[in-house]
Structure 1
Amino acid sequence: MGETVVLTAYMDRFKREKYISIYEVFQKKYDDSMTLLFSDKESTVKAYQENLKDKYSTMFNYEYTDPGDVFEDIQEQAFEFYEAEKLMEYNFHFSLLSTLYQMFEQQLRKFIYEELNHRLSSVRIEGEFADFGTNMGKIKEAFKHVNYALEATIQWDTISTLADLVNTYKHGDGRSAKRLYKNHPQFFLQLSYSKERVMDSELTTNTEVVFDLEEVSFKDYSDAIIDFWKDFPEHLSGKYTFPD
């Protein structure tokens, strides 16, 4: 066996505060945006419906047009508008959840890469940053060099659920979706007339509303990430033995 060296990582107060503050601001902006855009969808739809009534009041010659047909058309358009509003709220919510997770993953990747490659480090990562920690499995392996198991933290179950949610939303059915359904079946909407999941019926996870937004709280996941960084150790160290 070759030489054994000690590897260290240091989380200073300023970096910790920077990592955390991003999510605190993100949470507030999420809340403000959701309130502004989607807090009163019913009133938005009613205003849309009234605009249609005004528009159609002078569009037709009602001596030859059945007002009942016009009313039915307005109702149908208003319903479609309401469904579109719900879909936009759904995609807005999950797009920001996706960003939340991607920010966290990149923070982890950046932190451990810099700590293993600073000028006083006894080792250097082979290859360019672009090839380093390209998935969470590889990032976990990198943290093991400083004797830190990410999956052993108390927030990791929640963060793993977030990863599965994001992957399912982005890619549809697959390993993440199966794991998510096994652990959290309440997240998945079902058809009103059967127990089939909407995701399976519609074959999509973003052009239809397939998750129950009441069950998937943005704050739960942002709080978990904030708590992760609050609990993150100031000093980490591990040993690495060079091959002969």
Structure 2
Amino acid sequence: MILPYGPTRDTVMNDYVLFKMWGPHRLSLIKGHQFYVEQVRKRLLSQFANMEAEAEKASEELVEQSSGRFDPDRHDPSEFYEAANDAGIEFYQLLSDMRDQTRLNVIAGMFHEWEKQLRDWLVREIQHWHQGETPIAKVWSADFGKIADLLESLGWRIRSTDYFTTLDACRLVVNVYKHGDGPALKDLKLKHPEYLEDRLSGSGLPGTLDLVDYTNLKVSDDQFQAFSDAIVAFWRDVPASVAGSEISKPPEWFKKAILGDRAVRL
């Protein structure tokens, strides 16, 4: 491992600790995340709990509004009730779409906050032993895969965990929600098609998944909870401390950033 400037005083196996997750900070991250999810359910998603009743009420209100215009000599009552029923169905569908959009917004905010907190933790730990801004900038700009490479170099086999698979699916869902058609949609179809509602499934038509696009993106409440649980599992699994001797092969992008700063200082 590249020897750091100004190492921390904690030692593990006679080696400097380069990354440390303090217990209180770990607990704070988990509690903050759980508070977010709890309040989102309480203050936002709970408002969609009675959509059927609200749609029925909208249908009844239309009947009442139409009653003043009803003329038994000219109107068929069934037409008014049919129009009211259609209005109720439309109202329910609009509410359902709003609920799904709200949930996706919540998931995007949750994922971005977790990702920022992860990068912030890495940066703060690096600043304890390295003088220079290049690796800091690289950590903030690196894609998800490069950050995973860095975490794996700490001896944390994160890619073999179930929660990493779920977090990667969450990343793709958020990217599809943000960008629509693109590479993330192709990856989501290939790796996690369960987040794309195939409305033609069961129709007997071949290759229906090929017809699915970003408008088919849908995350259930159980899937939302699985994303949340994955974030909690991630924070619980962050190594308490990582010494330099435990980092056998840092990714090239990180190594070059460290060495680049040092070359300037020489």
- Which interval holds the TM-score relative to the shorter structure? 0.7 to 0.9
Query: Given the superposition, is the C-alpha separation of residues 97 and 148 from structure 1 closer, same or farther in structure 2, using an over 3 Å criterion?
Result: same
Q: Which moved more, 1:86-95 or 1:149-158?
A: 149-158
Could you report, residue by residue, the CA deviation over 1:161-204 in whole angstroms, capped at 9, with x for unpaired residues?
11112112222233222222223333322234446658946x54
Task: Report the TM-score, using the length of structure 2 for normalisation.
Answer: 0.74
The CA distance in 2 between the partners of 1:91 and 1:189, in whole Å, is 14
Supply the AA of the counterpart residue of 1:68.
S
Superposed displacement of residue 127, structure 1: 8.0
Alignment of 1:221-236 (within 5 A): 221-236=227-242
Q: Residue 186 of structure 2 corresponds to which residue in structure 1?
A: 178
Q: Residue 218 of structure 1 corresponds to which residue in structure 2?
A: 224
1:112 counterpart = 2:119:
no
Q: Residue 3 of structure 2 corresponds to which residue in structure 1?
A: 4
Could you report, residue by residue, the CA deviation over 1:1-36 in whole angstroms, capped at 9, with x for unpaired residues?
xx7336712211221111101221123223334663
Query: Given the superposition, is the C-alpha separation of residues 199 and 95 from structure 1 closer, same or farther in structure 2, using an over 3 Å criterion?
Result: farther
Query: Given the superposition, is the C-alpha separation of residues 204 and 181 from structure 1 closer, same or farther in structure 2, using an over 3 Å criterion?
Result: closer
Query: Given the superposition, is the C-alpha separation of residues 44 and 196 from structure 1 closer, same or farther in structure 2, using an over 3 Å criterion?
Result: farther
The CA distance in 2 between the partners of 1:44 and 1:60, in whole Å, is 24
Q: How many residues align?
A: 235
Q: Which runs of 5+ in 1 are unaligned?
A: none
Alignment of 1:98-137 (within 5 A): 98-118=108-128, 121-126=129-134, 132-137=140-145
Q: Which runs of 5+ in 2 are unaligned?
A: 5-15, 248-254
**Secondary structure, counterpart of 2:134 in structure 1:** coil
Supply the AA of the counterpart residue of 2:93.
E
Partners of 1:153 and 1:228 within 8 A in 2: no
Structure with the bigger percentage of helix: 2
The CA distance in 2 between the partners of 1:103 and 1:35, in whole Å, is 19
Q: Which moved more, 1:64-73 or 1:77-86?
A: 64-73
Q: Residue 74 of structure 1 corresponds to which residue in structure 2?
A: 84
Relative contact order higher in (CA < 8 Å, ≥ 6 apart): 1
Q: Residue 158 of structure 1 corresponds to which residue in structure 2?
A: 166
Give the root-mean-square deviation of aligned CA atoms.
Answer: 3.2
Could you report, residue by residue, the CA deviation over 1:80-119 in whole angstroms, capped at 9, with x for unpaired residues?
111101101111111111111111111111111111123x
Question: Sequence identity, in percent?
Answer: 21
Partners of 2:111 and 2:170 within 8 A in 1: yes
Query: Given the superposition, is the C-alpha separation of residues 89 and 195 from structure 1 closer, same or farther in structure 2, using an over 3 Å criterion?
Result: farther
Task: Report the TM-score, using the length of structure 1 for normalisation.
Answer: 0.79
